[in-house]
Amino acid sequence: MTPARTMVDAQMALLGASGALMASFGGWAAFDSAAYGGLCGIVLTWALGRNARRAERAARDNPRKAVRVLYAGAAGRFGLAALLVGAGFDLFGVHPLPCVVGFAATRLAFWWDARTVFKEAVR
């Protein structure tokens, strides 16, 4: 499996665990909220991969342009996170705590798997 696929699998596993934990405390509404927050985190992982591929293509021509692409991508992901979570709270009636728990679980899985991939690349 590719590292990206492994990362999404890890995110889905922790998303399921956090959703089950939230469901045990708050029922199906909490599960839905945790799932929404986790899916927002997975969308950000997809956006990061997309921006990394764009930066890689830009680096072939001009390394400075690649850095600009990475910074613009980071700002875009920040805005996307705020937009997705805000829309969840306002439009879909997502409960804040389970949403944050689901989001944090997928971010934790992302960082843990990224750390593992980096360690293997350095060896």
**Domain range annotation of the chain:** 29-117
* pTM listed for this prediction: 0.83
Alpha-carbon torsion angle 76, 111, 118, 68, nearest 10: 10
Q: What is the pLDDT of residue 10?
A: 84
2-36, pLDDT tens digit by residue? 666 677 888 888 888 888 888 888 899 999 999 99
Closest listed residue to residue 4, CA positions, set 100, 113, 119, 118? 113
CB burial of residue 4 (10 Å; 0-12, 13-18, 19+): middle
Letter for the amino acid at 80? Answer: L
| The residue to which tokens 């934790």 are assigned | 108
pLDDT under 50: residue ranges of the chain: none
Both tokens of 80, joined, read: 């996307």
Alpha helices in 1-123 (DSSP H): 3-61, 63-90, 96-122
